[in-house]
Copies of this chain bind each other. A is one copy, B any other.
Amino acid sequence: MPSPSAALYRVAASGPADVSGVEALFAGGLDPKTVVAVLGKTEGNGCVNDFTRGYATSAFEALFARHGATGVSIVMSGGTEGALSPHWTVFCRAKVEAAPARALAIGVSRTPDMLPENLGRRAQIKLVADGVRKAMADAGIVEPGDVHFVQIKCPLLTLARVTETYARGETTVTRETLKSMGFSRGASALGVAVALGELDLDGIDDTDICNRLDLFSGRASTSAGVELVDHEIIVLGMSDAWSGPLLIDHAVMQDAIDTASVRAAYERLPPGKLAAVLAKAEPDPSGAVRGRRHTMLDDSDIAATRHARAFVGGVLSGLFGMTDLYVSGGAEHQGPPGGGPVAIIVEKATA
Contact = CB atoms under 8 A, between A and B. Distances in A.
Interface of A: 12, 14-17, 43-45, 47-52, 54-55, 58, 80-87, 256-257, 259, 283-284, 288-290, 292-296, 298-303, 306-308, 310-319, 321-324
A48 B310 contact: no
Contacts of A314: 82, 256-257, 310-318
Contact of A315 (B85, B308, B317): B317
B51 A300 contact: no
Contacts of A312: 82, 314
A256 to B, nearest CB: 5
Contact of A300 (B48, B52, B316): B48
Contacts of A86: 293, 295
A277 to B, nearest CB: 13
A303 B303 contact: no
B81 A322 contact: no
B323 A17 contact: no
B301 A85 contact: no
A54 B256 CA distance: 30
A311 B315 CA distance: 8
A101 to B, nearest CB: 32
A240 to B, nearest CB: 34
A174 to B, nearest CB: 15
A82 B307 contact: yes
Interface of A is mostly: loop
Nearest 8 Cβ contacts at the A-B interface: A314-B314, A82-B311, A47-B300, A315-B318, A310-B310, A311-B314, A85-B292, A314-B315
Contact of A323 (B51, B54, B85, B294): B294
Q: Pick the most buried of A43, A85, A289, A318: most chain B CB atoms within 10 A of its CB.
A: A318
* Copies of this chain held together in the complex: 4
Nearest to A284: B83
Contacts of A311: 81-84, 310-311, 313-314, 317
A231 to B, nearest CB: 24
A318 B83 contact: no
8 contacts: A43-B49, A83-B294, A84-B311, A294-B323, A301-B301, A310-B314, A311-B311, A314-B314
Contacts of A300: 45, 47-50, 303
Contacts of A44: 51
Given A16-B54, A83-B284, A83-B294, 18 more contacts: A15-B54, A17-B58, A45-B301, A81-B310, A82-B314, A83-B257, A84-B295, A85-B294, A256-B317, A256-B323, A259-B318, A289-B317, A289-B323, A302-B302, A307-B310, A311-B314, A311-B317, A314-B314
Contacts of A85: 288-289, 292-294
B55 A323 contact: no
